[in-house]
Amino acid sequence: MRLAGARLLDDRDYPAVRAALAADPVGSCMVSARVEVAGLDPWRLGGELWAADARPVRTGRIQGLCFSGPNLIPLRGNATALRSFADRALRRQRICSSLVGPAEQVLGLWDELSPEWGPAREVRDEQPLMALDSLPRLPGDPAVRAVRPEELDRYLPAAIAMFIEEVGVDPRAGDGGASYRARVAELIAGGRAFARFEGGEVVFKAEIGAMSATVGQIQGVWVHPDRRGEGLGATGTAAVVTRLVRGMGRTASLYVNAYNAAALAAYRKIGFQQVGEYATVLF
């Protein structure tokens, strides 16, 4: 028997939401980063937060929590909670480009949604979630630095190449790349895009995507195809970790496809340890 659907959270739920997010700071970083800045108002948040609980939870534990926005991110919840999230999501046309988050919740929710939203373009069902809260074991590349705003046009081709390689679609599709360019420019302006330039060309890049008060999530790690196998990915990522841990006072985190043995080996060499498992469903 289907439930009526999850409940939209509001400011009355804020203390319980913050407690739920704090219980798993690495796993919830993408959502925490939004909530800490915007609160629970959907317009400011850029999406909605849903709970499986029937009424506001001013204190105590939220049993099921899901963010619905550009991505659908189920953070916690049993099978009943996931059914309620699916019911609410199916009331309208799909607006998210992916499901992402803890593997158990993502794959359980996808089971509920796939009859109407499927087939997916790709399901990545095993993505180790890794974290490092101390300086890396591997020395960072001293040539890796924050990208400057005036370097956007030199940085953007590498960002586009990474996106196509990793996600499988061109981020310029639809609007000619205006929205993706704006997002990259925002990361650069915030001091969260890093690169090694050689001869004016990017040979390594990475970004700090989501950043909460305690955790920064590294994304978009990329090495120029002509320079792979030289260790630039490991030393470059180590430089970004150092910036996060020492410069920003945060735990560094990332998630990676389990089949990417080279990346996993590099991250372990840096000192990352697995703290959970993510999954992603791409549309």
pLDDT one-digit tens code per residue, 61-99: 788 999 999 999 999 999 999 999 999 999 999 999 999
Q: What is the pLDDT of residue 175?
A: 93
**Which pLDDT score, from 0 to 100, does residue 247 have?**
96
Based on the fold, state whether residues 107 and 226 are members of the same structural domain. Answer: no
The tens digit of pLDDT for each residue in 157-194 reads 999 999 999 999 999 998 999 999 999 999 999 999 99
pTM, two decimal places: 0.93
Give residue-wise pLDDT tens across range 230-282.
999 999 999 999 999 999 999 999 999 999 999 999 999 999 999 999 999 99
The pLDDT of residue 1 is 36
Residue 81: inside a domain = yes
DSSP SS3 for 21: helix
Instruction: Check pLDDT > 90 for residue 4.
Output: no
Q: Which of 64, 27, 110 is nearest to 280 (CA)?
A: 110
- The answer to whether the CB of 194 falls within 8 A of the CB of 5 is no
**Which of 119, 135, 168 delimits the end of a domain?**
119
| pLDDT, position 2 | 43
The radius of gyration computed from the CA coordinates of the chain, to the nearest angstrom, equals 19
Report how far residue 280's alpha carbon sits from residue 283's, in angstroms, rounded to the nearest whole number.
Answer: 10
109 shares its domain with 151:
no
Residues 184 and 77 in one domain: no
Residue 134 within any structural domain of the chain: no
**268 and 173 in a common domain:** yes
- Residue 216 belongs to domain spanning: 145-276
Q: Are residues 163 and 240 in the same domain?
A: yes
What is the per-residue pLDDT across 10-61, written as a single tens digit (0 to 9) for each? 988 999 999 999 999 999 999 999 999 999 999 999 999 999 876 655 556 7
Q: Residues 179, 237: one domain? A: yes
Residue 221 to residues 80, 179, 230, Cα–Cα distance (Å): 36, 20, 15
pLDDT value at residue 61? 75
Would you say residue 153 has pLDDT above 60? yes
Q: Are 96 and 72 in contact (CB under 8 A)?
A: yes
What pLDDT is attached to residue 53?
Answer: 72
> Can you give the pLDDT at residue 56?
57
The reply to whether 158 and 267 lie within a common domain is yes
pLDDT at 150 (0 to 100) = 98
pLDDT score for 55: 63
> 201 and 104, same structural domain?
no
Residues 89 and 154 in one domain: no
Mean pLDDT of 208-220: 97
Tally of domains within the chain: 2
132 is a domain residue: no
CA dist 31 → 57, 75, 117, 152, 154 (Å): 18, 9, 23, 27, 30
| Any domain includes 100 | yes
**Is there a domain that residue 130 lies in?**
no
Residues 12 and 97 in one domain: yes
